[in-house]
Structure 1
Amino acid sequence: MTTVAQAEASASAAGPAPITQPGIHPMSNDEYHSHRYALSSSGARKLLPPSCPAIFRYEQDHPQAPKKVWDIGSAAHKLVLGDGPRLQRIDHDMWTTKVAKAEVAEAREAGSIPLKPSEYEQVHDMADALRRHPVASLLFDPERGTPEQSLFWRDDRTDVMRRARLDWLPNPRSGRLIIPDYKTCRSANPDKLAKDIDEYGYHQQDDWYRAACRALNLADDDAAFVLVCQEKTAPYVITVIEVTATARRIGAARNRRALETFAECTATGHWPGYSDDVVPLALPGYAETRDTLEYL
């Protein structure tokens, strides 16, 4: 049986040397994601329903290639945060020709984000709209913080090394620490965002990032995590949200379950699917009601 510590020790053979000391460690985004022995917030969410450990492990072993659908969000992040891949304008409205395809491939090979002319203007307009927002502009003020900070710390209950890559770490100051995270979305309507919190596990991210700052003595228990959500279509509406106390408690409980699951799977080498047992399943409630009335 492999312990968590043994797994970290063997990680150097497959990637960078494991980080054993808690702290803020300068590194690129690619290097951050290569520290597989340390559990991230997105990984914690992938370990739990509606996903499972087997899917988490497969995605670790088979990283996804860049997708066009991600380009707008990644490019907007670059402009808002002031850190990230170079934006490469590809001066072809259609990317179906050999010349356009070659330029796109060359940009991706160089680590840049290729954008059509309209997309290039779009992300700049999004960043401009954010800078005009009375709250969002202050949260990402370049004079008040640092982008893309990689935090590592040890979970005292499972011995799992945890990691978080904060979009933005505010400079030390008196008062409450507010940790902002930038999200692009189809709708910044608060009712729609409530569903996104559940679907994407943003309440878990809230607890995870605040835990990182507390563990490294960057914040007290009253630290806040806020999501700066911006629509990707004009006029690029922005809504800044903070999840409720109940949502944070649920997020913390889910994170605790994920850490225990990660520790057990690491120690045993077994990454199960949805269940290792025979699963009894009833009809969906609506079908059972419908057919009971009709046939029973």
Structure 2
Amino acid sequence: MTTATDIQPGVYDIPADDYHNDPIPGGSLSSTGARKLLPPGCPALYHYEQGQQQTKPKRHLEFGTALHTLALGDGPGLVRIDADSYKTKAAQQAADKARSRGAIPLLPAEMQQVQDMAAALLAHPQAGELLTGGEAEQTYLWRDDETGIWCRARLDYVRPGEIVDVKTTQDVSLEAVIKAIHKWGYHQQRGFYIDGYRAIWGYDPEWKFIFIDKNPPYLITVVDCDVTSALIGEARNRRARHIFADCQRTGIWPAYDQQIWTVPLPAYAEKNDLEEYVK
């Protein structure tokens, strides 16, 4: 029987399903989990979702994985489903069969799209260089020195001294990218992955986000976080690790604050309604 004490911190090449099912007996914290523990999430939501079986694959996640397969050279096989949509039973069955073999089903238009996006990434002067000379989809396992909890991360692409993370989106203008980093907590993900790299290799790597638009002509923007956003990401991770450690220790995964609050309207609504109705 494998226990957490049998596992050593390090870099592992394991299937994606094994990573997402958590290879650490007793549980480990991922970047996604760290973000879920903090508002607008909470420990109770995180704990509930950990116990749920994912019955229906998320198409946007499958698409992103397919792009990684072609652009990064590592990932599950891709299966073309010769249909216009998944509305027919035959198409649904073909997709289920592909998934049962560990492959990703793609409609013809999706297959062409992901091929074109991968080609755009590799042809881009900055992104193409960043996605060469490294290793894709490596799993990092380590213990956090401060709390003692196990952490895990699956890094898109690692070059010597540099981590590269690929994001698909609908808008790669700088303003949209900045909003996406805040909305999805990518600055926190950045800090979490850098923590893992430092724990294994003993120093901080460089970091690059590659954002690629899912729409033609598949524009690309390459960015890193500034000092302030990186600092905030690190602080959020520290808070999440302590919450996770406390919940593991006590077995209690609390919801939102249980006190009874006296709450206002949203500031914009309060201002508008005061002007309109309270004179």
Partner of 1:92: 83
Distance change (3 Å), C-alpha of 1:277 and 1:93 = same
Deviations 1:96-145 (A, max 9, x none): 2232222112112222111111111111111111111011111111xx11
Identity %: 44
Distance change (3 Å), C-alpha of 1:169 and 1:63 = farther
Q: 1:114-193 alignment to 2 at 5 Å?
A: 114-141=105-132, 144-171=133-160, 177-193=161-177
Pairing 1:27–2:23 present? no
Aligned equivalents of 1:115, 1:79: Cα separation in 2? 13
Aligned equivalents of 1:235, 1:225: Cα separation in 2? 25
Pairing 1:234–2:231 present? no
Contact 1:209–1:225 (CA<8 Å) still a contact in 2? no
Partner of 2:246: 264
Give 2:30's aligned amino acid.
S
Partner of 2:178: 194
Q: Which moved more, 1:159-168 or 1:101-110?
A: 101-110
Aligned equivalents of 1:287, 1:202: Cα separation in 2? 30
Corresponding residue to 1:40 among 9, 25, 30? 30
What secondary structure sits across from 1:83 in the alignment?
coil
Distance change (3 Å), C-alpha of 1:286 and 1:86 = same
Pairing 1:288–2:270 present? yes
Deviations 1:39-84 (A, max 9, x none): 1111101100111111111111114331233332221111111111
Structure 2's unaligned 5+ residue stretches are none
Aligned equivalents of 1:288, 1:31: Cα separation in 2? 49
TM-score (norm 1): 0.87
Contact 1:88–1:107 (CA<8 Å) still a contact in 2? yes
What secondary structure sits across from 1:254 in the alignment?
helix
Q: 1:66-81 alignment to 2 at 5 Å?
A: 66-81=57-72
Distance change (3 Å), C-alpha of 1:255 and 1:231 = same
What secondary structure sits across from 1:280 in the alignment?
coil
RMSD: 1.7
Give 1:192's aligned amino acid.
A
Deviations 1:137-189 (A, max 9, x none): 11111xx1111111111111111111111111214xxxxx2210111111111
Structure 1's unaligned 5+ residue stretches are 1-11, 172-176
Partner of 1:174: none
What secondary structure sits across from 1:216 in the alignment?
helix
Give 1:50's aligned amino acid.
P
Per-residue deviation, 1:279:
2.4
Corresponding residue to 1:251 among 223, 233, 242? 233
Partner of 1:51: 41
Aligned equivalents of 1:17, 1:113: Cα separation in 2? 32
Per-residue deviation, 1:225:
1.4
Kindly report structure 1 stretches of 4+ aligned residues shifted beyond 4 Å: none
Aligned equivalents of 2:261, 2:249: Cα separation in 1? 25
Contact 2:72–2:136 (CA<8 Å) still a contact in 1? yes
What secondary structure sits across from 1:283 in the alignment?
coil
Per-residue deviation, 1:29:
1.0
Q: Which moved more, 1:30-39 or 1:250-259?
A: 30-39
What secondary structure sits across from 2:137 in the alignment?
strand
Corresponding residue to 2:73 among 65, 82, 100? 82
Deviations 1:243-296 (A, max 9, x none): 100000000000000000000111111111121222221122233333444336
Contact 1:164–1:209 (CA<8 Å) still a contact in 2? yes
Aligned equivalents of 1:26, 1:285: Cα separation in 2? 49
Pairing 1:224–2:206 present? yes
